[in-house]
């Protein structure tokens, strides 16, 4: 068997030796669209995280039997073409739930605890010159008694809800499909969620119903001092509207996902004045060491199951 891994840079230093058990392995840190056809030529199995596999590429690779998507979403593979050609496509679900939940709270506490401000205060030497033992230049609040609104109450959203409750917050949710009915939490409209929540976290997929779901008018109705966290998909929050609102309204925003990744240059969010209100991480919520190890183990398991079927 020939196994080709197209974008191993996304896995970091995770051990990939488990693939060797299946045959000859070729690995590439990154693969550009024009490089993909040549690299998968003669492959029996292709492993991709974000590299796109099209119908034309499948047609030119008659040896291809299995495409392993090292992610949950499979929008980078032409699934109809794969089915038509008898090529199996396997993804991995649930591997990053704990990692994303943890990063959600990491972003929240960085913003609400004003971590950057206090770290800078100490490292500037200002605390050494202080006449008192403490400093309360940037007040922060407890989560207990606050309202936490969740957009998209799937597995990750439910994980966030449980932790938020442990801190004493009241959880409400908005179902982007309208079909999710969870008796454990109050289901509300999006406008009510945004108007009444102290924290809003987004854990929904990107689709026609969620594209620019939170735009200028939605951001305007949020409470002053509220926190918005997007750990779902870029495109759910309108980035241009957000750039305008952040300098006009005192809300705090944490983004782990953007509409275009890597971030486009120039980008309106890079030019805001109130930079302390915005915290951006480069799509890392899913990337804990443990999550990446689970991901690779699950891809290997998918290959083993396919070959033994």
Catalytic site residues?
A: 233, 261, 283
Q: In terms of Cα–Cα distance, which of 124, 172, 128 is closest to 147?
A: 172
**β strands within the chain, DSSP E:** 2-5, 24-27, 45-48, 66-69, 88-90, 147-151, 170-174, 186-187, 199-202, 227-230, 252-255, 278-280
- CB of 46 closer than 8 Å to CB of 64: yes
Residues 6+ apart with CB under 8 A from 162: none
How many angstroms separate the CA atoms of 236 and 233, rounded? 6
d(CA 225, CA 244): 16
Q: What are residue 257's phi and psi, to 5 degrees?
A: -135, 145
Token readout for 13 is: 């230093």
């Amino acid at each position: 068997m020939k196994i080709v891994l197209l974008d191993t840079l996304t896995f970091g230093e995770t051990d990939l030796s488990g693939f060797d058990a299946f045959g000859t392995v070729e690995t590439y840190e990154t693969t550009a669209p024009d490089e993909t056809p040549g690299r998968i030529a003669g492959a029996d199995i292709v492993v991709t995280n974000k590299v796109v596999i099209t119908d034309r590429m499948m047609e030119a690779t008659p040896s291809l039997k299995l495409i392993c998507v090292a992610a949950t979403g499979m929008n980078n593979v032409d699934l109809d073409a794969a089915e038509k050609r008898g090529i199996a496509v396997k993804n991995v679900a649930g591997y990053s739930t704990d990692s994303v939940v943890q990063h959600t709270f990491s972003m929240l506490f960085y913003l609400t605890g004003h971590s950057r401000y206090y770290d800078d205060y100490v490292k500037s030497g200002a605390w050494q010159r202080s006449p008192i033992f403490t400093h309360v230049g940037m007040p922060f609040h407890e989560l207990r008694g606050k309202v936490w609104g969740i957009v998209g109450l799937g597995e990750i959203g439910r994980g966030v809800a449980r932790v938020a409750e442990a801190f004493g917050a009241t959880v409400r949710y908005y179902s982007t499909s309208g079909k999710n009915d969870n008796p454990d939490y109050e289901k509300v409209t999006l406008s009510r969620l945004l108007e009444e929540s102290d924290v809003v976290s987004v854990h929904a997929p990107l689709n026609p119903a969620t594209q620019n779901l939170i735009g200028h008018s939605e951001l305007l109705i949020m409470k002053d001092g509220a926190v918005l966290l997007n750990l779902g998909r870029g495109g759910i929050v309108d980035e241009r509207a957000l750039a305008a609102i952040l300098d006009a309204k005192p809300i705090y925003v944490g983004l782990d996902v953007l509409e275009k990744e890597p971030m486009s240059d120039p980008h309106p969010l890079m030019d805001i004045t109130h930079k302390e209100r915005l915290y951006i991480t480069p799509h890392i919520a899913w990337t804990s060491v443990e999550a990446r190890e689970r991901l690779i183990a699950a891809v290997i398991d998918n290959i083993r199951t396919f070959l033994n079927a």
